[in-house]
């Protein structure tokens, strides 16, 4: 009897992220992006008997994979990490010693053709991380106008041919043959984008943009960072791994903003709001890790620590 293939994921910056995160063996920690559990298992290995790890993921397949962890210190929530504060409050948790966010898309999501994330396979154009809710990429392209499609591809894909791609998508839709599959989208973009950086598929930026839009990834990241800051106990750690410039820019800006005293210009004589984070550094994968796992090459890890001031 045939079985479904097992889509594997190699965790990026595994040791570095976990060592930066776990400073108290009996603390409470959050893994905001469980994936296939690489970071979660490594965190649990460092926790003591009274330690606790609460993980989050939007992907039902990740939730199913988490069932293999039979550890009373571990719990998985089928939710986006931007909901962590409410979910933890419902469990009586108001402070944690660390939050880890490993952003972006996982290898199982890319490598499973049926998820519709990759231009390497022909499949329905889905792209939802949570396949139980929300609209697909095909549904977005079926209803959005040229301006909206162009804005998404330009803003989230940093694609200079966004307007031309949007016009081609809407023209095809109006001809009675809307784009419904990854292969159709990839071919349309390839015909529209005449020049591309060496070694990059013409569809790369468009696929990235639609994925980010469909899953509201940047909005979730902004809200998730705020939730993490509100939850962190003094000296608690925030560890974030980003894989493209849009994510990393948000993380870098957030940490920088919270790592300085803030003066309210509307009340210039009021005492400034004290800094709430100390930036501890930035790290990229080693040459050895990139050679073993080429998908790690764009990763950037940033670490910050909660100050003792509220």
pLDDT per position as a tens digit, 248-305: 999 999 999 999 876 556 666 556 667 899 999 999 999 999 999 888 899 999 999 9
How far is 100 from 103, CA to CA, in rounded Å? 9
| Domain-ending residue, one of 147, 181, 214 | 214
Q: Is residue 8 part of a domain?
A: no
Which residue in the block uniquely carries the two structure tokens 């005492």? 271
Query: Which of 214, 245, 273 is the last residue before a domain boundary?
Result: 214
Residue 116 CB burial class (10 angstroms; 0-12, 13-18, ≥19): buried
Which pLDDT belongs to residue 33? 95
H or E segment and range at residue 163: helix 162-174
* pLDDT given at position 263: 58
Please indicate, yes or no, if residue 251 is contained in any of the structural domains: yes
Residue 4 within any structural domain of the chain: no
| Within-domain flag for 118 | no
Give the DSSP H or E segment for 78.
strand 74-78
Spatial neighbors of 288 by CB under 8 A, at least 6 apart, are none
Q: Is residue 123 part of a domain?
A: no
> Please, which pLDDT band fits residue 1 given cuts at 50, 70 and 90?
very low
Each residue's pLDDT tens digit, 117-149: 788 889 999 999 999 999 999 999 999 999 999
pLDDT tens, 196-232?
A: 777 788 999 999 999 999 999 999 999 999 999 999 9
Please give the average per-residue pLDDT across 63-87, as a whole number: 96
Strand partners for 75: 54
- Do 221 and 300 lie in a common domain? yes
Which of 88, 102, 133 has the alpha carbon at shortest distance from 238? Answer: 102
Contacts of 272 (CB under 8 A, 6+ apart): 261, 262, 263, 264
pTM for the whole structure = 0.90
Query: Which value, in Å, is the radius of gyration of the alpha carbons in the chain?
Result: 21
- Percentage of the chain with pLDDT > 90? 79
Digit-coded pLDDT (tens) for 5-29: 444 567 889 999 999 999 999 999 9
| Strand, coil or helix: 6 | coil
Instruction: Mean pLDDT check: name the lowest of 26-30, 72-76, 164-168, 297-301.
Output: 297-301
Span 38-66, average pLDDT:
96
Confidence of residue 45 (pLDDT cuts 50, 70, 90): very high
Residues 200 and 224 in one domain: no
Place of tokens 């994936």: 35
The most confident of the ranges 7-16, 89-98, 104-113 is 89-98
Of 187, 214, 241, which closes a domain? 214
How much is the pLDDT for 117? 77
Domain assignment of residue 32, given as a range: 14-107+217-306
């Amino acid at each position: 009897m045939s079985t479904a293939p097992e889509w594997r994921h190699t965790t990026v910056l595994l040791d570095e992220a976990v060592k930066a995160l776990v400073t108290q063996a009996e603390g409470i920690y959050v893994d905001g992006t469980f994936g296939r559990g690489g970071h979660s298992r490594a965190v649990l290995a460092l926790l003591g008997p009274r330690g606790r790890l609460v993980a989050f993921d939007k992907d039902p397949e990740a939730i199913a994979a988490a069932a293999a962890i039979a550890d009373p210190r571990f719990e998985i929530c089928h939710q986006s990490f931007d909901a962590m504060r409410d979910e933890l409050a419902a469990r009586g948790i108001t402070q944690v010693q660390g939050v880890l966010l490993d952003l972006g898309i996982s290898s199982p999501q890319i490598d499973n053709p049926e998820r519709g994330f990759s231009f390497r396979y022909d499949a329905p154009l889905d792209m939802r991380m949570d396949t139980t809710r929300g609209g697909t990429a095909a549904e977005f392209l079926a209803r959005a106008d040229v301006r909206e499609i162009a804005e998404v591809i330009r803003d989230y894909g940093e694609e200079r041919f966004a307007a031309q791609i949007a016009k081609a998508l809407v023209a095809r839709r109006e001809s009675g043959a809307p784009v419904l599959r990854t292969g159709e989208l990839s071919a349309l973009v390839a015909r529209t984008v005449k020049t591309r950086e060496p070694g990059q598929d013409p569809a790369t930026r468009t696929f990235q943009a639609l994925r980010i839009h469909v899953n509201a990834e940047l909005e979730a990241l902004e809200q998730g960072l705020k939730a993490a800051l509100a939850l962190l106990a003094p000296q608690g750690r925030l560890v974030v791994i980003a894989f493209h410039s849009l994510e990393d820019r948000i993380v870098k800006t957030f940490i920088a903003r919270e790592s300085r005293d803030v003066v309210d210009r509307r009340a210039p004589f009021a005492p400034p709001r004290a800094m709430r984070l100390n930036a501890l550094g930035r790290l990229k994968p080693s040459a050895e890790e990139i050679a073993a796992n080429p998908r790690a090459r764009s990763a950037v890890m940033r670490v910050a620590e909660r100050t003792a001031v509220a």
